[in-house]
Structure 1
Amino acid sequence: MKLSEIYLYLKQDISKIEKEIENSIDAQHPVLIQASSHLLKAGGKRIRPVFVLLGAQFGQYDLERVKLVAVPLEMIHMGSLVHDDVIDDAELRRGRKTIKAKWDNRVAMYTGDYMFAKAIEIASQSQEPRLHEILSDAMVEMCIGEVEQIKDQFNADQNLKIYLRRIKRKTALLISVSCELGALIAGADRHIQKCLKRYGYYTGMAFQITDDILDFVGTEKELGKPAGSDLLQGNVTLPALYAMERDAELKNEITHFLESHGTDKVDMNGIISKIKETGAVKDAKIMSDLYLEKANAALEELPDIRAKRALSEIAQYIGDRKF
């Protein structure tokens, strides 16, 4: 099932949120407008606004209030992607040139900062104090995560704990906050907010692990970037971690590449084949499935409404997706 089919009944509201995002990136400087529009046109699943909309279904649903959460969260996500591309020196995202590739690093960093600032500006229209507290705490954690990502880049001496902490800050945190704040802005019961927060965290962890798996098993056409890009950019993800634990020769090969900071030539197709042969990809999928089981368990305490079923279907989509 496609993601668009899962939340078809929210199509009209999703379109309105998309329009709000388009209107929000309007800037007085032409380069900022062009760079922001370039990223927006690259598309995306808009899964964070969808989580906000679904979370709000458990309370008093009012799109005018909900958009003050949904739009900022997507803009924060977009801004973090721009920063990630600078950190990773990435040339492509979703098959299009990144902002840093089309312009330069400085334009990319300021564009990301601009999106963060616009997100805060929009969210400030809400009078809900807990919203601002949760959102600011999340942004602090994300920034710490970006600094940690820089520190760990091309670092072969990593472990599972470091990896899980990194993907929590990189992905799971914002998805968790999206679910929680959707319920908060709609005035849902605090217990419901907590259940949705847990669901979002577990789903977000599974989402990123699946992304990291697809980086090794997907094609360039499906991924919008070359297979093995994470490792080429110096990011050691779960399949690589597992494989390095099991194959000493492969570990030496990957370590040598990382210690060269990506300057040495590497047979990435060969490394990908060796990683698959260790069973690391299958075990990473098991880890993702365990998180999804916890996500579905968090949903069990929620009222049986259409949004709950949609959240369950999204979790299944994440577990089954191919790109």
Structure 2
Amino acid sequence: MEKVKMKLLYSDLKPELDLIEKELEQAVDSESPLLNDASLHLLQAGGKRIRPVFVLLAGKFGTYNIDVMKQVAVPLELIHMASLVHDDVIDDSEMRRGQLTVKAEWNNSVAMYTGDFILGRALEYITDIDSPRLHQVLSQTMIEVCRGEIIQIEDKYKLDQNLRDYLRRIKRKTALLISSSCELGAMVAGADEKTIAHLRRFGYFIGMSFQIIDDILDFTSSDEELGKPAGSDFIQGNITLPILYARNNPEIYRLLKDSLQKELTDAERLHIVKVIRDSSAIDDAKKVSEKYLNKALGELDHLPKGQASKTMRKIAFFIGKRKF
């Protein structure tokens, strides 16, 4: 239901997004039935398509041409998809968006090569754009995303990490790809440099807010709403913002410390989820998300008024307040 509500915010982009969806299906098409099935399995699980949406909206601040915009929107979504497949292998995740992950439906090897294949398709797709600067921004983003994933592995089960570690990690893991979606969409549409800079910063700030809300929802939503077990981040050893705030309570700290790297029963998992949910950590984390949201909205104030900035503002509010 929440996903449907969000799509209504950019319903005027539906024809372009339908085109991008078809392009994504073509992009993951393979002569290998196995690769084809695994790639489509991931693609058909759906998603909010936030990155393509921001590419298209950013393009509205320049010379908008859907045939040009899709050359950026499609590979950025493919890069995101590839990272999800690899994430599920690293985190040993069985479920994503309410269905079995590629690694669960097939195995780790199929998942890793499916991710590599999708990433290769993304690189192939974007070669049609003759812009060294664009390729430089994209390649640097991919490098930083990989660094973020490695940092997440290094930081696993470290309950005593600091806030800076967490923010640095989600910047690379989530915010930069959303930031690049805004930046590259404006760039390929020929927007002026000030507009590109404001859109890049908007994407970064909203990306940070987006990930923090994701981390909050891991504790405040049900298994059914998440499409995976609530508290999955903690079970996998990922120390998120609600945990960082909750650990300040000595009793909660001891509970978390004793539960890390243990095989938890469903009852034990749900107990931890409830303890975090009922603590002040959720409100504390929401305040940080709100700060990033306000910074994102501030960037929009510097952009030309129009339907694109209006829609971006609506999406930003929705992201900051979402419950899915």
Instruction: Give me the whole-angstrom Cα distance separating, in 2, the residues matched to 1:138 and 1:93.
Output: 24
The two structures, once aligned, show a CA RMSD in angstroms of 1.2
Instruction: Give me the whole-angstrom Cα distance separating, in 2, the residues matched to 1:147 and 1:112.
Output: 16
Match of residue 272 from structure 1: 273
Detail structure 1 runs of 4+ shifted over 6 Å in the superposition.
Answer: none
Gapped regions of structure 1 (runs ≥ 5)? none
1:249 aligns with 2:278: no
Q: Which of these residues, 27, 30, 35, is aligned with residue 30 of structure 2?
A: 27
Q: Following superposition of structure 1 onto structure 2, how do residues 1-323 of structure 1 map, counting pairs within 5 Å? A: 2-245=5-248, 247-258=249-260, 261-263=261-263, 265=265, 267-323=268-324
Instruction: Give me the whole-angstrom Cα distance separating, in 2, the residues matched to 1:122 and 1:44.
Output: 21
CA contact (8 A) 1:233 1:262 kept: no
Cα distance, 1:154 vs. partner? Answer: 2.1
Instruction: Give me the whole-angstrom Cα distance separating, in 1, the residues matched to 2:176 and 2:43.
Output: 22
CA deviations over 1:216-258 (Å, ceiling 9, x no partner): 010111110111111111111100110002x112112212222
Instruction: Give me the whole-angstrom Cα distance separating, in 2, the residues matched to 1:262 and 1:49.
Output: 39
Instruction: Give me the whole-angstrom Cα distance separating, in 2, the residues matched to 1:306 and 1:128.
Output: 28
CA contact (8 A) 2:205 2:296 kept: yes
| TM-score (norm. length: structure 1) | 0.97
Cα distance, 1:208 vs. partner? Answer: 0.4
Counterpart of 2:235 in structure 1: which amino acid?
L
SS at match of 1:156: coil
Instruction: Give me the whole-angstrom Cα distance separating, in 1, the residues matched to 2:154 and 2:262.
Output: 15
Cα distance, 1:149 vs. partner? Answer: 1.3
Cα distance, 1:310 vs. partner? Answer: 0.5
CA contact (8 A) 2:55 2:72 kept: yes
Instruction: Give me the whole-angstrom Cα distance separating, in 2, the residues matched to 1:148 and 1:35.
Output: 27
* Distance change (3 Å), C-alpha of 1:214 and 1:264: closer
Instruction: Give me the whole-angstrom Cα distance separating, in 1, the residues matched to 2:300 and 2:90.
Output: 36
Counterpart of 1:273 in structure 2: which amino acid?
K
| TM-score (norm. length: structure 2) | 0.96
Cα distance, 1:264 vs. partner? Answer: 5.3
Cα distance, 1:78 vs. partner? Answer: 0.4
Instruction: Give me the whole-angstrom Cα distance separating, in 1, the residues matched to 2:59 and 2:6.
Output: 19
Counterpart of 1:232 in structure 2: which amino acid?
I
Counterpart of 1:262 in structure 2: which amino acid?
K
Instruction: Give me the whole-angstrom Cα distance separating, in 2, the residues matched to 1:276 and 1:208.
Output: 17
Counterpart of 1:319 in structure 2: which amino acid?
G
CA contact (8 A) 1:48 1:73 kept: yes
CA contact (8 A) 2:159 2:244 kept: no
Cα distance, 1:278 vs. partner? Answer: 2.6
**Mean alpha-carbon deviation: is it higher for 42-51 or for 269-278?**
269-278
Gapped regions of structure 2 (runs ≥ 5)? none
CA deviations over 1:62-95 (Å, ceiling 9, x no partner): 1111111000000000000011111110000000
Counterpart of 1:298 in structure 2: which amino acid?
E
CA contact (8 A) 1:179 1:200 kept: yes
**Mean alpha-carbon deviation: is it higher for 156-165 or for 73-82?**
156-165
